[in-house]
């Protein structure tokens, strides 16, 4: 097993071929499906990987079995479970006999074809079959009435006198002679959280028309939780209440009924000063809450009346942070999938939200396999799954210790320090030049690009009197990605401290190679800053700044050439190719 966990290509051609087949058959290979699968850089927002380490969104045991071609037992059992769920779904929601039989026959053909080679992950198989089901059935929101009914029952319960009497009970609150108000306040928050979590396991609240009686609810709600994982969460929250941190939580929503308890818990957490991002499914996935449910379910629509629903699947880091900066507002996003937690297929918005979070909370049983395999994440994760009445299953997975994080506050501070430094230079009579250049836009030329940048900036510094030339590459730190760099530089670029904004031209590059006593290699001939998406975005900012500060000089290629690239690769220090930009 350990050998498979540390699997690397290039040692066994037959095994390499089977691994490649595994990823392509499951549509998880970025090289084959770049518009569907997260780039390595985007994946690194969520999963900490060593160089050349391969990530798979399933249990270690399953991946090991698939690669060793002995997954029949594990996969067959999972496949049968998927077919049973799908069969029940069709029988429940498709009323027309002909369409029902046609749909089952079609699904059966696809199902039997896909399970033949025992290589498809259960989540990927289920996603394909559900896609066929929703397309052929032409039902906009399967199970909508059931889910809406369950959500309404919980919402009615939380407004009932029965709930209020049990929830507001002082039972379990420990107040001694030496108790402080701070400690009592913390106890209150934890008691409320514990009661809501426990109640989310009592399915009769939303499954039945008749609520449990008061005695039973009191007994359930006041059960103690003693697991190490629960104590870990309490310790994490204690730091929040004590003012030691003002974190952001990414909350992966669970199923209908439970979601209303989730929202009550989120409301409690937000009152503690915690920013919360709620992630739901992109589209139908049984009883899991999808983005369309939020819009069509009147109960959820009411509960989320003040929330910021983000429909953009590729929101930028700056826009995400701007929205997170709003006080007391819940941010709601889609994870971009209709299957269990799968970082390889998550949306850009979800990946960036994961990266900006301090803690990720998963409320879905289907996510457990992906969370508990040997991979470690870039953020702390806790999985809280309701089991039987009053029983919660906790799993905590702390982030990899080698993760380097640049919080918004740190990036902003770095930018503001540079602003202050440049302001002092200007007061001493210096002019400030910012030099925007290709850094990684030419595949395989990152080191050469840095060398070109350094040589030319040094040439400018030696040639220009009383001009401070800023080389962005000199401010790069290990662990930064393009999102961090662009966020930091935009703060400085909008500060009004730039007198001359110079964009790398063809002649700049030709001169640099001349200074290095080298001929211009073919891959650099005719290149300039217009080949860089980062520079293109910086030109947009520069144009805005010229309108605000007309005295600022803008030097570089013609403006119309800055239209070839409009979006930089997520988390990349190089761009997508022109063919990928649509």
pLDDT tens digits, one per residue of 423-432: 999 999 999 9
CB-CB neighbours of 564 under 10 Å: 13
And the tokens for 542? 């520069």
List all residues 6 or more positions away from 199 whose beta carbon is below 8 Å from its beta carbon.
Answer: 205, 217, 220, 221, 261
| Contact assessment for residue 104 and residue 90, using Cβ atoms and an 8 Å cutoff | yes
Dihedral pair phi/psi, residue 78, rounded to 5°: -65, -40
Q: What is the pLDDT of residue 582?
A: 31
The 3-class secondary structure across 450-496, one letter per residue, is: HHHHHHHHHHHHHHCCCEEEECHHHHCCCCCCHHHHHHHHHHHHCCC
State how far the Cα of 229 lies from the Cα of 225, in Å rounded to an integer: 10
State how far the Cα of 455 lies from the Cα of 449, in Å rounded to an integer: 10
> Taken in order 62, 64, 66, 69, is the CA torsion positive or negative?
negative
The H or E element that residue 426 is part of is helix 408-427
| Number of H-type helices and E-type strands within the chain | 24, 13
Looking at residue 559, its pLDDT comes to: 85
Instruction: Report the C-alpha gap between 255 and 205 in whole angstroms.
Output: 14
Q: By the 8 A CB rule, do 44 and 378 touch?
A: yes
Report how far residue 503's alpha carbon sits from residue 538's, in angstroms, rounded to the nearest whole number: 9
The pLDDT value given to residue 561: 85
Q: How far apart are CA 181 and CA 349, in angstroms?
A: 40
| Dist CA 348 CA 233 (whole Å) | 28
* Cβ atoms of residues 415 and 491 within 8 Å: yes
The structure's pTM equals 0.86
Distance separating alpha carbons of residues 520 and 448, to the nearest angstrom: 11
Separation CA 166–CA 221 (nearest Å) = 8
- How far is CA 60 from its chain centroid? 22
DSSP label of 400: P
394: its two tokens: 């906790």
Q: What number of other Cβ atoms are within 10 A of residue 444's Cβ?
A: 9
In this prediction, residue 570 carries a pLDDT of: 53
Q: What are phi and psi of 29, to 5 degrees?
A: -95, 115
**Residue 298: its pLDDT value, please?**
97
How many angstroms separate the Cα of 263 from the Cα of each of 217, 230, 255, 325, 326?
A: 20, 19, 12, 20, 18
Coil vs helix vs strand at 299: helix
Rg of the chain taking only CA atoms, in angstroms: 27
What pLDDT is recorded for position 5?
A: 60
Within a 13 Å sphere around the CA of 279, how many CA atoms are in the beta-carbon half? Answer: 29
The single-letter DSSP state of residue 69 is T
Query: pLDDT tens per residue, the chain (582 residues)?
Result: 455 566 677 778 888 898 999 999 999 999 899 889 998 889 999 999 988 889 999 999 999 898 888 888 899 999 999 999 999 999 999 999 999 999 999 999 999 999 998 999 999 999 999 999 999 999 989 999 999 999 999 999 999 999 999 998 888 788 887 888 888 889 999 999 999 999 999 999 999 888 888 999 999 998 989 899 999 999 999 999 888 888 999 999 999 999 999 999 999 999 999 999 999 999 999 999 999 999 999 999 999 999 999 999 999 888 999 999 888 889 999 999 999 999 999 999 999 999 999 999 999 988 999 999 999 999 999 999 999 898 999 999 999 999 988 888 899 999 999 999 999 999 999 999 999 998 867 777 878 988 999 999 999 999 999 999 999 888 878 778 878 888 899 999 999 999 999 999 999 999 999 999 999 999 999 999 998 878 888 999 999 999 999 999 999 998 888 865 544 445 554 443 333 333
Domains of the chain: 2-137 (no CATH), 144-397 (3.40.50.10880), 408-580 (no CATH)
CA separation for the pair 524, 522 (Å, rounded): 5
Give the C-alpha separation, 248 to 274, whole Å.
6
Task: Give one DSSP letter per residue of 5-53, joined into a string.
Answer: HT--TTS-HHHHHHHHHHHHHTT--TTT-TTTSPPHHHHTTTEE--TTP
Element (H, E) at 275: strand 275-280
Please tell me the distance from the alpha carbon of residue 134 to that of residue 129, in angstroms, as a whole number.
Answer: 9
pLDDT of residue 6: 63
Q: Determine phi and psi for 431, rounding to 5 degrees.
A: -110, 150
């Amino acid at each position: 097993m350990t050998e498979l966990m540390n699997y690397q290509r290039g040692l066994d051609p037959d095994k390499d071929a089977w691994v490649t087949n595994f990823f392509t058959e499951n549509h998880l290979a970025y090289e084959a499906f770049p518009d569907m699968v997260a780039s390595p850089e985007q994946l690194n927002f969520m999963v900490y990987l060593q160089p050349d380490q391969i990530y798979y969104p399933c249990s270690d045991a399953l991946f090991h079995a698939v690669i060793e071609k002995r997954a029949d037992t594990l996969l067959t059992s999972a496949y049968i479970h998927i077919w049973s769920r799908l069969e029940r779904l069709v029988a429940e929601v498709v009323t027309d006999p002909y369409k029902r039989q046609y749909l089952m026959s079609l699904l059966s053909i696809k199902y039997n074809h896909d399970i033949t080679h025992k290589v498809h992950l259960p989540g990927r198989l289920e996603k394909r079959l559900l896609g066929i089901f929703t397309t052929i059935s032409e039902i906009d929101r399967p199970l909508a009435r059931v889910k809406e009914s369950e959500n309404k029952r919980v919402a009615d319960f939380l407004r009932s006198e029965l709930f209020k009497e049990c929830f507001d009970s002082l039972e379990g609150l420990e107040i001694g002679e030496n108790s402080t108000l701070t400690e009592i306040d913390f106890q209150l928050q934890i008691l409320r959280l514990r009661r809501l979590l426990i109640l989310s396991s009592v399915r009769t609240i939303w499954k039945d028309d008749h609520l449990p009686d008061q005695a039973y609810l009191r007994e359930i709600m006041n059960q103690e939780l003693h697991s190490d994982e629960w104590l870990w969460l309490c310790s994490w929250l204690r730091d929040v209440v004590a003012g030691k941190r003002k974190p952001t939580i990414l909350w992966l929503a669970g199923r209908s009924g439970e979601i209303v308890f989730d929202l009550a818990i989120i409301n409690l957490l937000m009152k503690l000063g915690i920013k919360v991002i709620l992630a739901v499914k992109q589209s139908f996935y049984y009883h899991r809450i999808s983005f369309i449910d939020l819009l069509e379910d009147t109960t959820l629509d009411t509960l989320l009346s003040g929330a910021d629903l983000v429909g953009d699947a590729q929101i930028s880091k700056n826009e995400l942070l701007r929205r997170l900066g709003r006080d007391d507002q819940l941010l709601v996003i889609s994870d971009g999938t209709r299957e269990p937690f799968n970082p390889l297929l998550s949306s850009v918005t979800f990946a960036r939200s994961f990266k900006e979070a301090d803690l990720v909370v998963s409320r879905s049983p289907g996510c457990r396999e992906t969370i508990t395999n040997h991979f470690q994440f870039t953020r702390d994760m806790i999985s809280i799954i309701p089991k039987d009445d009053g029983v919660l299953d906790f799993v905590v997975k702390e982030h990899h210790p080698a993760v380097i994080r640049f919080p918004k506050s740190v990036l902003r501070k770095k930018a503001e320090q540079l602003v202050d430094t440049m302001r002092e230079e200007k007061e001493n009579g210096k002019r400030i030049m910012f030099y925007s250049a290709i850094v990684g836009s030419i595949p395989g030329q990152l080191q050469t690009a840095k060398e070109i940048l350094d040589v030319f900036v040094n040439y400018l510094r030696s040639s220009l009197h009383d001009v401070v030339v800023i080389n962005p590459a000199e401010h790069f730190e290990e662990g930064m990605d393009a999102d961090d760099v662009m966020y930091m530089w935009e703060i400085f670029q909008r500060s009004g401290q730039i007198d001359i904004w110079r964009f790398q031209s063809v002649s700049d590059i030709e001169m640099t190679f001349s200074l290095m006593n080298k001929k211009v290699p073919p891959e650099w001939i005719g290149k300039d800053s217009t080949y860089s998406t980062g520079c293109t975005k910086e030109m947009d900012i520069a144009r805005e700044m010229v309108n605000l500060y007309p005295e600022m000089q803008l030097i570089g290629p013609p403006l119309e050439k800055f239209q070839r690239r409009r979006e930089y690769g997520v988390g990349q220090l190089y761009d997508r190719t022109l063919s990928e930009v649509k």
